[in-house]
Structure formats: C-alpha cells, structure tokens
Structure 1
Amino acid sequence: MSKATTEKLSPVEGIKQRSNYLRGTIVDGLADDATGALSDDDIQLTKYHGFYQQDDRDLRAERQRRKLEPLYSFMIRVRMAGGVATAKQWLQLDDIAGAYSNNTLRLTTRQTFQFHAVIKRNLKPTMRSINDALLDTIAACGDVNRNVMCTSLPELSPLHATAYAKAKEISEHLLPKTRAYHEIWLDGKRVEGGEDYEPVYGTTYLPRKFKIGVVIPPSNDIDIFSQDLGFIAIEKDGELIGFNVTVGGGLGMTHGEPETYPRVADVIGFCTPEQAVTVAEHVVALQRDFGDRTNRKHARLKYTIDDRGLDWFTEELSRRLGFVLAAPAGFRFDSRGDRFGWQQDLQGLWHLSLFIPEGRVLDNDRARVRAGLRAVAATERVEFRVTANQNLIISNIKADDKALIEKLLAEHGIDKLQHITPLRQQALACVALPTCGLAMAEAERYLNDFVGQTDALLAKNGLANEPISLRITGCPNGCARPFLAEIALVGRAPGYYALFLGGDPFGYRLNRLVHENADEKTLLATLDHWFERFARERQNSEPFGDFVHRLLPAGEQA
C-alpha cells in the first residue's frame, strides 16, 4: 500500500477503503426515485463499473431558475480491448443507443464506445444489455487499468494477430476480481461467507487511472508514448519476438499549476511475449505501492517515476520480476493517423477504414452514418474495429462482398464523408460541453468549424494538401491527446484556449505552449503567421511540427 499516512490520504482513498470492494451504497442509490443523481461517494465508485455521472450544462441555468435539480444523466463506456466488435455486437450496441441513450454511439480515443445521456432508471437495463452483447464496462473508468489499446488491424499479418491477442490477455489479467459488478448489474448472488480478494489491486486499487497500449511499428496509431505502460512489438522475419517496454507516459495537467505536466514515456527495455503479462502486472503493482495517494493531481505513474527517478523504477521492477529486461531493440514509426480506404490482408480479406466526423455515429444532414453502419452490420458479413483516432474500420470483408458494402455506404451518404482534407483526416476532439463536467470550453461541437477555418488558412498559404495533426480538448486532462499534436487547442474558458504548437508528427515529442489564453481571432492569426512562415522557410519536406519546434525555442511564446 501507499507509504502515505492515513491522515494525509486523499478523500477518494477513504471512499475506496470503505466501499466493500466497490459496492458502496450503489444499490440503494439506484432505488432512490427522488433524484436523478447518485451520492457523491457512489459517483466515485461507479467509475470502476464503467460510467460517469454528468448533467447537461446547456440547461443548468434555466433549470436552476426553475428550481429544478440539474438534468443528470450518465456516460457509459464499454471495455473492448483493441476496439474489436462483431457485427452482432454492433447491432446490439446500436439497439442500446436507441433504447436508452441519445441515439448516438461515440467512438473514443481509447478504441471503444461510449453511450451518453443514459438516465438513472435506465442504468441497469443498459448494463444488462451490454452484457447480453458479451461485452462489459468493468474497469472502463476508475483507478484501475483501463481499456487496453492495440494497433487497429490485427489481421494484417501474423504479427498483428499475436500482438492483439497479447493486448486481450493483459486486459483480462488486470481486471478487478470483485463480484460487485455482477451482483449490482447482473443480479449475481453473493456467495455466503465468501470474501472478495484483489490480488493485483488490493482494497484501495490504484492511486489514479492507468493506461496500457500495444503498438506495432511503423504505425504509432495509439500514441504509445502517451501510455502509462506501453509494449512496442518487435518482429523478426514477420514473427513477433517480443516488446520494447515503455513507462511513464501521461498527458493530463492543470492550467496554472506547473507541478502538473504532460510527459512522454521512456523506453526501459525489452521483454519476450511470454513475459509481457508478468511485466504488466508488476508495473501496475509498483504504481499501486508507490504512487501518490495524497494528491490525485500527482498520482499518475509519470510523477512516481520523476519523483524517484527512472533508475530507481527499473531497479525496483527488476527486483520484483526476478530478472532484468533486455536492452531495447531498434524500431521506428512513420505514421500515426488512420490509413483510409481499402486494405487487403495476407488471407485475402479486405478492410475498409472510414472517417467518422468527430467520432460520433449519428444520422444528420451530412450523412446517415448510424443507419448506414447498421445496414452494413445487418449483412453479418463484416466485423468492426474502432481506431484510436475516433474512426472505424469495417473488417474481414470477402472480395465478393466489397461491392455490397460500398453500395450500402453510398446509399446513406457515408461515401461523401470520405472526401476530406488531410487536416480533417487527423483532427481529434474530446466530447467536452455540454456533458463533461470538467470541460472549460467547446471541443467536439467546435471541431468542424475550426477545422474549416484552419483549412482556409492552409489553402491561402498554398498548403492545402499538407498533413498536419490538429486536436482540441475542452480542458487540459488530455483525453484527445492534445499535447502530442502539431496544433492543439486546450480549453481555458468558453471561447478561449491555450494554443500549443510543434508536436512531432509521429508522436515522439510534446508540443509547446504558444498562447496561454487566446480567442478565436488570436488563434487564427497565430496559425496564419506560422503557416506563412512554414510555406516560405521550411527545409525540404520538413513537417509543420518539426518546423515550429526548430524555430520556437523552448519557453518562448509567440
């Protein structure tokens, strides 16, 4: 357990300790019809069950004027290692979106689905329906290991298949063992006299959330250096021989508090495929024992490593493992965006990567994305992959079925969405307003408009076809991985953002703060300035992020 004294522990640590392995008073709260909310303690505990309590902030003032409580609802996140779903599961999840959510599915940057606007009385039916789809939401949120990510197309080679299988194995191994989830949501009966036991997490779980990813070079599509723990697949003659291990990535920070900061992970060694699960367990356990439980803003693995030193961390990990990780193997990344269009694997099956605007599966005047994808799933001739860039891959398509899939997509206007600029292809945004309680500014609802204005500036400077990564978040918690983008807007207040420029195009390097608090006019003027210079002064085929990084010294603002 943490070395912090009981008197200094974060209040959340007490909630976990008293929770009886995440049960709390959730059952009583669900039965309370007098409010659409849960108790403050149970709000913390239900994160481990896979959902957050939220309210519609667009309606707060009006409801307060009418002396009504906020319009509470819940965001539910599915656990789905590597973002893989069958056609049947897609149809079942789509049914849930229609019956209990807001008629949309949200594709997340951790390769899974979110349901929004689920009201309290529909929580249990929703959770049971997800279980009926042979999926769950256990540990999708909370102070535990969350959804394990993996490069999006495991079928492209034997290497991909093996790496994806290892991501699933790590995910299953690190699941909480408490029966609370099954008792509360699936009417599982508690074993009389039985005791819960958490062999990895203990009674108070981790100090904060923990994120793991498996990546297959040369694609860094999951931003491996943003993960607490990462496994970089190393191959020889097309076969997986092991993983380079990375530790200490994390992008969350707090405006105005320099003791909080984003950090890219360090490569600390190499392990064999057989050692990967053991390495994952011991890295998690090390953070369990030494992570800061007094200050949740300082509780991620990156701070544990920086406070104690990387040498200390690797030595302690080796002591627990009983062996020393081998020296890292060579690797390189040459992309991190999704590769849109058709790809064929070694077995002759086809995979179609689709751009999904803002990651939101819905029907609107642009296209009937939800209806079209439901029609594709109804053929039962495909599978699906959610990418880490909020897009979707229709997978495992036989050659004879390609024309049918293309026809269905065209009938629903989804084909027209694919004719987009390079900037829009790579743009990401978190959900932000109106539902995220942490959001300070717009993100998802602002992305389309801001990309359009930025594209106009690029065209003005002769850069219309330049691939540049742009990410917008409503707050500095980093859900859309903004601090690794070449251009990032991080919300500070309605209509105002911190502007960061100069991230590495392949995800190796953080960007730099250029404006602390800029309105739209300032943001666009600053980008226009840099685009003009980029068009005039770039060296050879230098990417935009490298150009800004070269010309903007650390600590300088423009």
Structure 2
Amino acid sequence: MASPNERIKIQSRHLRGTLEDSLHDGHTGALREDDTQLSKFHGFYQQDDRDIRSERAKRKLEPLYSFMLRARVPGGVVTPEQWLVIDQLGRELSGGSVRLTTRQTFQYHGILKESLKPLIQGLHSALLDSIAACGDVNRNVLCNTNPVDSSLHQEVYRQTVALSEHLLPNTRAYHEIWLDEEKVADSAEPIYGDTYLPRKFKAAVAIPPHNDVDVYANDLGFVAIAENGKLRGYNVLVGGGMGTTHGDTATYPRVASCLGFISPEQMNAVAEAVLTTQRDHGNREQRKNARLKYTVDRLGVDAFRAEVAKRSGVTFLPEVPVLFTQQGDRFGWVEGVDGRDHLTLFVPEGRLIDKPGQGWLTGLRAIAQVHQGDFRMTANQNLIIAGVPKAEKAKIDALVAEHGLNLATTRLRENAMACVALPTCGLAMAEAERYLEDFVAKVQDLLDEVELGDQDIVTRITGCPNGCARPFLAEIGLVGKAPGRYNLFLGADGRGLRVNKLYRENLTETEILAELKPVLSRYRAERNADERFGDFVVRIGVVKEVKDAQVDFHA
C-alpha cells in the first residue's frame, strides 16, 4: 500500500492542493494537514516552538506556529545586491536572523503565516526563489566553492546551475500561489510524473581535492575531472544518503557508488535518467526505505548503471581515480588564479544575527554595500567573500574587524557542525545547534588534557538520526536519542569517503567525554604520522571499518 504522502501528491493538482485557502484562514497560524506536506515543495516547513508548547497547551492556546523557509541557490553563489535583499527580509519578516545551511543556501526561521507571501515575493524581486528547496524532488544542488582555481570553478558552477534548472518541477503552482501569476491549465510533469519522487533527492558537484560538499553523501554526485585546468568530465556517483532510524536495521547511512565517467555535455541527460529510474523503481510504500540508496542496493549497482545508460543513451567510461584530502573549508584569505582574493569567514552554527561583539547582519550588510565580487555560502555553514580585488582587501579587512567577524577559534571548532534541532524541528530528540559550542569546548579541553592540542577532527551533532548535518561522515558524531542523550559514532575518515559506526549508545555528556578520553589518549600515543583520528580508531579496532553499509553499519 502506498504511503499517505503518495495520496497527497497525486491529489494535489501538481502541488497546488488547498494552499491558497490555508494561507487565507485567519483562525489559525497553521496550514491544513495535507498542505503541510505540499508546502515543502514550495520551500518551507511548518514548525512550532517546542520550548513553550506545553505552556500554551495549559492556556488552551494552539502551538505557536511559524515557518522555516529555505531558498534555492545552486552552488551557493549570490551577488552583493542579492545579499542586501536577503538581509532585509531576514530582519523584517523572520525574527532578525538568517541561517546558512548544510546545503549551501540560507533559510529563515520564525516566519508567521501572513509573512510567507511577502517574503517569497521579496526573494523573487532579487531573482531568488524557494522552488523545490524541500519536498520529494531534487533539492538545492551543491557545488564546490573552490576559490583558488576560479576559471574551473566558474565552468563547473555554470553546469551546476543548469542542472538545477533542468531538474526543476514543471508545475506553475509556485508562480500562481506566491507570485500571483495567471492560473494556467494543469501542466504535465515530464520528468517527475504526477506523484513526483518517492522521497527527497539531493545532488552535489565536487572538484577534487576538496570535498567540502560531502559529495558521497548525496543521492547523485558529480566529481569534476580536470586536466591542465580544463574540465574533462565527471565521475558519476549514486546512492549516497545520511538518514537512518534508531533501532531499524533496514535503514542505514551510505556513501555513493560510482557508475563511471561521462563527458561534461552528458551531465543533464545522466542526471535525468538517474532521477527517473528512482521515480519508477523507488519504494513508495515505506518512506524510511524510499531514498535512492535503498533502490541502488536493491537493484544492484550494475543493474542500476545499465538502466541509467539505457534511459540516457550514455555509455559510461571507467571511473577516473581521484584524490580527496579534506571535507572542511579553508579559512582566511586565499588567492585565486585570476589574481583576486577570497576571504572565508567562520560563522558559528551558520547563524547570522547581531549580538554583542559580533554584528553578523550589520557587518555583512556593510560589506555588501562596497563588495565588488560575490558571496559564496559553503556546505559547512560558512561564508566566502569572494572575488575581492587586491586594492579592496584592506577595506574588507577593516569592516570584518569593525564588526567582530574575524573570530579566534580552534581547528576542532572550525570543523564542527550541527543541525537546528530544538526548539523548532519537530523531529529533534535532543539539542544540537544550541549544544554544539559547549560540547566542542569540552572536547577541546580533553584534547588539551591529553596533550593533543589543536586538532582537526571532524565533529558533528544532530538532534535525530535523519542526518541533516551529515553526522555519519564525522570522525566524532553525536546523534540525538533523547533529551541530553546521544549515540556516539566514531570512525569516518575526515575526507567524506567513509561512514562511521556506532561506538556507544544512549550516553549522557559525562559518559561521552569519559568514553572519548582514553581513545584520544591512545591516539596521541599510538598514531602514525599524519594519521587522522577516524582512520586511527579503525586501524586499532575501536570500531570496525564500514565498507558496505548495508552489511557493516549495524554488524
């Protein structure tokens, strides 16, 4: 039997549903139940403040409903002019903040129902949108920020944008509901069909040696292969995904498998074939097993490759060997091959808000008013002020310093990431964003205590096992189990090529730190030269290496 979401999609008239009626219902701050699912395809989720839910219930008030809206920004690049609009909308319509996401875009929190339409129209005025930023469709396409080889990045970035446009839904529902465009006859969906995909679909493009987009965590990935600075083509990856369910061994995180090598002009055809194969063969009965990774494992990589080749008319060539060295960002100034410079700023939890000593919104607004390049959001929730002429570097540095944006931090903190979790995410079982700073500080104290000092150990926390901050690719991963309790995962490789494995379950903070201390002590005493922490714990047998997630992750 098909899941309830399938009924909602097929009855939605291609994502229209009764969204307009829901928006005009002044008796509640919420949407109708089916519309809460359809709204995701338009880029936003309904949420409520769980911190005050019980208090409001005692007063016989409905939950304090609000919305989180995520923009679609392929490759994470926006102009200074667009940034000023992003900033203004954040201050005026969403509680005074903007959050950079793990999918290289921005999102707003705390939006009231009556502010949704003005906000979407404001984005449209800056040539931005939230179409398909969520829902059972292809979402925001990531692209390596690569500020060094700017010419190669520009070519790959252009293809990333074209891919995002190619995989957009064909329905005009978004334009009719939010932009007041003329209602048209119900349109067909040549790629998605009437029920769209069985589950969400994520795509990314990476340029070795930097895997800052965690390309192997995506349903569909393209690894750019360059020769003498020129793009030769891509290795095509399929079947990555982070989400799992506590206690359900039929679910697991997975790194993507390679189908082979293609030429640049074959990208869109192959992507469409992968998507339609998932559309036709994905699991529409159990949403927990509906992601592409399960389809690939069920069909087998060879059979999946053959189906994609048949649908696309593309013959895959052998995979080209590549080397990835890291999955984090490069902070500070970096000079590009075009003679322009790029400044990567560390943004704690990706949260852009003005607070004492750190004027993120005010400072970036001042920078946008004079900046001559662009802004690039990273998949690690940081921000690059890109394409700065050398004559302008001093001006940018002065503004960064004036507004307190040049934060002193550690390598551990720079490579830590968390999802939003409580109080707004309805799936969260434990804290993540609000806990990250404190937890990382305590791990740093451990590092200092065992005389490891400033270590680059990828650390990530999520409030639930859905994996939005990609915790299963962390060398130290915490996944929320209950308030104040987490499952502790160890053993990813720090490059995004291997998932970690459960080490201890349902731990408090005190227990987590007690478990980590002896392992970190052994790391200091027994590690090989340049050996990463995740590789070390696998080598000495603290956890077993996950080679085939379907077999090894729960073993």
Q: TM-score, normalised by structure 1?
A: 0.96
State the partner residue of 1:185: 178
- 1:380 offset after TM fit, Å? 4.1
For residues 474-493 of structure 1, give each alpha carbon's deviation from its aligned partner in whole angstroms, at most 9, with x where no partner exists: 00001000000100000011
State the partner residue of 2:68: 75
1: CA distance, partners of 2:264 / 2:200? 25
Which amino acid in 2 is paired with 1:307?
R
* 2:106 is equivalent to residue 113 of structure 1: yes
State the partner residue of 2:125: 132
What is the SS of the residue equivalent to 1:48?
helix
* 2:162 is equivalent to residue 199 of structure 1: no
State the partner residue of 1:16: 9
* CA separation of 1:556 and 1:295: change in aligned 2, threshold 3 A: closer
* 2:40 is equivalent to residue 43 of structure 1: no
CA contact under 8 A between 1:484 and 1:507: conserved in structure 2?
yes
State the partner residue of 1:3: none
Q: Number of matched residues?
A: 546
2: CA distance, partners of 1:224 / 1:444? 23
State the partner residue of 1:543: 532
* 2:200 is equivalent to residue 209 of structure 1: yes
What is the SS of the residue equivalent to 2:436?
helix
2: CA distance, partners of 1:182 / 1:153? 33
CA contact under 8 A between 1:88 and 1:380: conserved in structure 2?
no
1: CA distance, partners of 2:543 / 2:373? 49
State the partner residue of 1:435: 424
* CA separation of 1:434 and 1:556: change in aligned 2, threshold 3 A: closer
What is the SS of the residue equivalent to 2:354?
coil
1: CA distance, partners of 2:315 / 2:392? 50
State the partner residue of 2:80: 87
* 2:431 is equivalent to residue 448 of structure 1: no
Which amino acid in 2 is paired with 1:536?
A
2: CA distance, partners of 1:223 / 1:366? 32
State the partner residue of 1:336: 327
What is the SS of the residue equivalent to 1:453?
helix
1: CA distance, partners of 2:314 / 2:507? 50
1:229-244 → structure 2 map (5 Å cutoff): 229-244=220-235
Which amino acid in 1 is paired with 2:446?
L
CA contact under 8 A between 1:154 and 1:164: conserved in structure 2?
no
CA contact under 8 A between 1:514 and 1:556: conserved in structure 2?
no
- 1:540 offset after TM fit, Å? 2.3
CA contact under 8 A between 1:211 and 1:229: conserved in structure 2?
yes
Which amino acid in 1 is paired with 2:258?
V
1:353-364 → structure 2 map (5 Å cutoff): 353-364=344-355
State the partner residue of 1:5: none
For residues 111-161 of structure 1, give each alpha carbon's deviation from its aligned partner in whole angstroms, at most 9, with x where no partner exists: 000000001011111111111111000000000000000001367332211
State the partner residue of 2:497: 508
1: CA distance, partners of 2:35 / 2:385? 38
State the partner residue of 1:249: 240
* 2:394 is equivalent to residue 377 of structure 1: no
1: CA distance, partners of 2:247 / 2:8? 28
Q: Once superposed, which parts of structure 1, at least 4 consecutive aligned residues long, lie more than 3 Å away?
A: none
1: CA distance, partners of 2:163 / 2:372? 29
2: CA distance, partners of 1:486 / 1:556? 15
1: CA distance, partners of 2:259 / 2:20? 44
State the partner residue of 2:549: none
CA contact under 8 A between 1:154 and 1:163: conserved in structure 2?
no
Give ranges in structure 2 of 5+ residues lacking alignment: 545-551
1:320-331 → structure 2 map (5 Å cutoff): 320-331=311-322
2: CA distance, partners of 1:343 / 1:376? 18
Q: TM-score, normalised by structure 2?
A: 0.97
2: CA distance, partners of 1:363 / 1:17? 44
2: CA distance, partners of 1:338 / 1:450? 21
CA contact under 8 A between 2:501 and 2:543: conserved in structure 1?
no
Which amino acid in 1 is paired with 2:456?
P
State the partner residue of 2:458: 469
1:281-360 → structure 2 map (5 Å cutoff): 281-360=272-351
Which amino acid in 2 is paired with 1:241?
R
1: CA distance, partners of 2:88 / 2:312? 45
Which of 505, 508, 511 pairs up with 1:519? 508
* 2:233 is equivalent to residue 278 of structure 1: no
